[in-house]
Copies of this chain bind each other. A is one copy, B any other.
Amino acid sequence: MKSKNLQISPAMEDYLETIYLLVGERKVARVKDIAAARGVKPGSVSPAMKKLAAMGLIRYEQREFIDLTPEGEEVARRTLARHELLRRFFHDVLNVSQKNARSDACAMEHYLSDEGVDRLTKFFEFIQRCPRGSKTEFLDRLHHCPLVNPGQPDCDHDCPEVAAMSRTPAVRRSLSDLQPGESGTVAQVDAAGQVRRRLIDRGLIPQTTVEVVRNLPRGSVRILVNGQETSLTTQEATHVVLAP
């Protein structure tokens, strides 16, 4: 029984993932449960099940319990592996809340290439094994570095940058220090909330090159980011820390 449609859509992957989890949790998957888990109405589930059955991915007799075929299980597991990989990256590495980590991951899992899976896995292998024995050493630094998270006591990881910071008050150069014609590389967006969002949304993320085109009246600067011009208030510009 060949599948008629070789491409599996995001929605179909999610149905398979959901069935897989339901069968794992409570032995059986029913239309009602699938609908609840996916946040859709039962009326949407029945036709979807018909389709998945036609593709040979589930075993489905009307009104009976739903079960994955080996091929469906394959897809479900692959999808879930991507889901977990991304969720862990967001939650465990980036410290995104569980809720957002989960929903971002479940949306993006359908678009992560095989190469992406491979390399993201390598990343976990690295932070698990390389950094000096303790498996959380790298994450510790990431989550507690006072350079990035102001208010953190100290990273106690003999980091010369931090030491330098506590010696000299602040040798930081910001975007507001640049003269028209000069350019620099963003090192950090030293702001929170709305200001931070606005700066990031304008493309001012670390490692981006930014050039000051000219100063505008009324305390604004015209800048060039990603080959495109925008304006910023000088106030905002002081929050963009540049690499030395």
Tell me the minimal C-beta distance from A24 to chain B in angstroms. Answer: 5
Does A161 sit at the interface, judged by CB under 8 A? yes
With a cutoff of 8 Å between Cβ atoms, the chain B residues found around residue A161 in the complex are 129-130, 132-133
Q: Is the CB–CB distance between B112 and A104 below 8 Å?
A: yes
Tally A residues with Cβ within 8 Å of B: 76
Does A11 sit at the interface, judged by CB under 8 A? no
Given the complex of chains A and B, what is the CA–CA distance between A203 and B61 in angstroms? 29
Contacts A84-B205, A111-B104, A228-B20 given; does A196 touch B118 at CB 8 Å = yes
Instruction: Report, nearest first, the 3 A-B pairs whose CB atoms are least far apart.
Output: A107-B111, A124-B206, A94-B119
Interface residues of A (CB under 8 A from B): 20, 24-25, 74, 77-78, 80-81, 84-85, 88, 90, 92-97, 100-101, 103-104, 107-108, 111-126, 128-133, 135, 141-142, 145, 147-149, 155, 159-162, 187-189, 196-197, 200-203, 205-208, 226-228, 230, 243
